[in-house]
């Protein structure tokens, strides 16, 4: 099995294979750590995680590099305003980012590269650009890329740059100008700003040069895949191509994947619109990390996702169905043998699931056969038409589903607990939903101890105490389910 993935550069679905026949070398633009990540950022990282996990599921090895932009215009400005070094300013956001990745079960790339630890490579690349006639120095000691030296500029975003003005410059890291300009590779030190003393002068790198230098450092001059949010296509990725190919004269990345941005309630997410959410905001409202993950990946990466709270409620319910079924599948006692119906249903579900993902990671089409299978298996169990051999076949399908979607195993308690602890520390305790606070204040061990006490109370026919414990737990959102296999509980 292979993956056919849309390639922004070629404009078509291309098969994604490691060109060295060994491991797929891929680079994904990481976060700029000046704030907590919002759900738009995480949609991109989640869709790249879907890519990663699917490639691993089909047996591919990966060499995945992600950068952390820990120096840029905003970071320097904010750190100066706060009166701290950029290292001290970015540290909590870097830690928060990794915590958030873990909460959302986003796998860590094989290599994480922090911009401030690779300045010499960036300087070397700028020197090579100077030697190639593609970069020039301005009077203040900054260095710029000369767009006129790279006629292929625009090949990724397919922008018509015929009106390009030779020598017009832009010195900010992020810009959306339709007409391309010479952009800053290196910015001369300004008084009070963080800077590095280097052979090309004292200063700091521009944002774009970071990704060119670090991707080539770890993956070579030419590699398999470059991924990022659609907002990075122009100018950031276009600039990366220009910087790298002007020096290497090779195709920088053969395949480009861009994840579309999301809307929130049908509108662009923005702080002024009041529809701006970080992952932490949603956890504090009581939504589970797994539901946020499922809601953000259930729309294929190339489609616009309209994020809504109804969608989160649906995702929560869907995960509940999967987990309940999974528990039933594991705990159930089925007679030996297998049924042709369930065997065929499991095989079809797996085939449809894999086919949908291999076709440009169509997550929406991929999840449908899984839920169909769960429904069919539940019915078969209800009617005693489900045998032990069917369990293995269905369990295999669920395992392959969860290898990519990663929502069945319940690991939601810890992220929520961490978000609450963070909010209490960060002066945001007022944002914690009250019912969440009650539910989370009790540990798993405490719940188990109470249930053991309830069990003892029942055995000595002290039903008053047993009922009291049940009420105490249900009042704070702990659902208790008595079955013939014993008592089970879960957090609502």
Q: Rounded distance, CA 196 to CA 303, Å?
A: 42
Name the 3-class secondary structure at 114: strand
Instruction: List, in sequence order, the alpha helices (H) in 15-85.
Output: 39-57, 73-82
**Are 209 and 243 a contacting pair, CB within 8 Å?**
yes
CB of residue 29 to Zn ion, shortest distance in Å = 3
Nearest partner of 200 among 255, 121, 270, 266, judged by Cα: 121
SS3 breakdown of the chain: % helix, strand, coil, rounded to 5? 50, 20, 30
Q: Interface residues with Zn ion (CB under 5 A)?
A: 29, 211
Number of helices followed by number of strands (H, E) in the chain: 16, 18
Helix (H, G, I), strand (E, B) or coil at 6: strand
* Element housing 89 (H / E): helix 86-103
φ, ψ at 62 (rounded to 5°):
-130, 145
Return the number of the residue (71 or 211) whose C-beta is nearest Zn ion: 211
* Least distance from Zn ion to the Cβ atom of residue 235, Å: 11
Report the DSSP pairing between strands 201-205 and 223-229: unpaired
Asked whether the beta carbons of 204 and 233 are under 8 A apart, the reply is: no
Is the Cβ of residue 240 or residue 390 nearer to Zn ion in the bound state? 240
Q: Is the dihedral of CA 241, 242, 245, 251 positive or negative?
A: positive
Assigned token pair, 84:
């701290």
DSSP for 248-285 reads H-S-SEEEEEEEPPEEETTEE--GGGT---BHHHHHHT
* Backbone φ, ψ for residue 432 (5° rounding): -80, 125
């Amino acid at each position: 099995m292979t993956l056919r993935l849309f390639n922004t550069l070629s404009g078509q679905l291309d098969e994604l294979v490691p060109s060295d026949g060994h491991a797929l070398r891929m680079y994904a633009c990481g976060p700029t750590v000046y704030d907590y990540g919002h759900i738009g950022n995480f949609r991109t990282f989640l869709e790249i995680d879907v890519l990663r996990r699917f490639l691993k599921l089909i047996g591919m090895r990966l060499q995945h590099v992600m950068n952390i932009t820990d120096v840029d215009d905003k970071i320097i400005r904010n750190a100066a305003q706060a009166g701290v070094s950029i290292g001290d300013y970015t540290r909590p956001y870097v830690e928060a980012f990794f915590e958030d990745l873990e909460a959302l079960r986003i796998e860590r790339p094989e290599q994480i590269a922090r911009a401030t630890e690779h300045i010499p490579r960036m300087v070397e690349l700028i020197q090579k650009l100077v030697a190639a006639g593609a970069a020039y120095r301005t009077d203040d000691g900054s260095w710029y890329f000369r767009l006129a030296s790279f006629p292929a500029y625009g090949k990724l975003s397919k922008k018509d740059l015929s009106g390009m003005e030779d020598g017009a410059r832009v010195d900010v890291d992020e810009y959306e100008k339709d007409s391309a300009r010479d952009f800053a590779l290196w910015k001369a030190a300004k008084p009070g700003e963080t800077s590095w003393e280097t052979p090309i002068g004292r200063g700091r790198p521009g944002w774009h040069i970071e990704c060119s230098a670090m991707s080539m450092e770890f993956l070579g001059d030419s590699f398999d895949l470059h991924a990022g949010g659609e907002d990075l296509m122009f100018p950031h990725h276009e600039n990366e191509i220009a910087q790298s190919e002007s020096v290497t004269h090779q195709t920088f990345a053969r395949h480009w994947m861009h994840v579309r941005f999301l809307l929130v309630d049908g509108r662009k997410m923005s702080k002024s619109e009041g529809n701006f959410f970080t992952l932490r905001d949603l956890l504090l409202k009581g939504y589970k990390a797994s539901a946020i993950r499922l809601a953000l990946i259930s729309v294929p990466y190339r489609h616009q996702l309209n994020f809504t709270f109804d969608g989160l409620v649906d995702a929560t319910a869907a995960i509940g169905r999967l987990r309940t079924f999974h528990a039933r599948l594991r705990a159930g006692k089925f007679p030996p043998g297998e049924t042709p119906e369930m065997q065929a249903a499991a095989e079809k579900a797996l085939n449809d699931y894999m086919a949908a993902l291999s076709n440009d990671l169509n997550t929406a089409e991929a999840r449908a056969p899984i839920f169909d299978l769960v429904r069919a298996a539940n019915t078969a169990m209800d009617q005693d038409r489900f045998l032990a051999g069917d369990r293995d076949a269905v369990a295999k399908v669920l395992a392959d589903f969860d290898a990519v979607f990663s929502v069945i195993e319940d690991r939601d308690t810890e992220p929520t607990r961490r978000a609450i602890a963070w909010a209490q520390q960060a002066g945001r305790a007022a944002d914690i939903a009250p019912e969440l606070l009650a539910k989370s204040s009790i540990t798993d061990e405490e719940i188990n101890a109470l249930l053991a006490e309830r069990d003892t109370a029942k055995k000595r026919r002290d039903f008053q105490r047993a009922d009291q414990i049940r009420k105490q737990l249900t009042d704070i959102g702990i659902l208790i389910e008595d079955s013939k296999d014993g008592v089970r509980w879960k957090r609502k």
